[in-house]
Amino acid sequence: MDNDRNTLSTLNKLIETCKDGEYGFQSCAEHVNSAELRSLFTARATDCRQAATELQALVRQCGGEPEDSGSATGAMHRGWVAVKGTLAGYSDLAMLEECERGEDAALERYREALEEDLPPQVRMVVERQFEGVKRNHMQVRTLRDQARAAHD
């Protein structure tokens, strides 16, 4: 029973993480100047929403009640995106830096989840999603580095 409770708790934390990513990417998409970044961030927001939906289905399969919102930390991150954007004039570089910070948090949450004793079907989904988070993080970091180089 404890393992079930731990699995549900882990999945719900990941759902919050995905919701945070969705809201964070969407917020950044609304404030970037580059159409290419807007498209990328909108796509990443959609990916996060789909990942949350997949995890919510797993929670239901495990007999639990899925989380349906982001975390308090995520809300603060979104607030920080707005504050930093105002201060920085919503530069594309500032938005990329915020997205990278959000993806750093997502990587950590997924690493923590994979340290848990998860049922095989759950572990498989979490591992696959973790690979996607790593790809997102690398893509955002590369774009951030390019924006920094162009800014200097």
Largest CA distance in the chain: 55
Number of C-alpha atoms within 13 angstroms, CB side, residue 124? 4
CA-nearest of 137, 144, 139, 114 to 7 is 114
CB 112 within 8 A of CB 131: no
Average pLDDT, the chain: 86
- Percentage of residues in the chain having pLDDT higher than 90: 57
pLDDT in tens, 136-152: 999 999 999 999 999 77
Q: Say what the pLDDT of residue 2 is.
A: 46
Query: Which is more confidently placed, 134 or 62?
Result: 134
Give the C-alpha distances (Å, rounded to integers) separating 49 from 39, 43, 44, 52. 15, 10, 9, 5
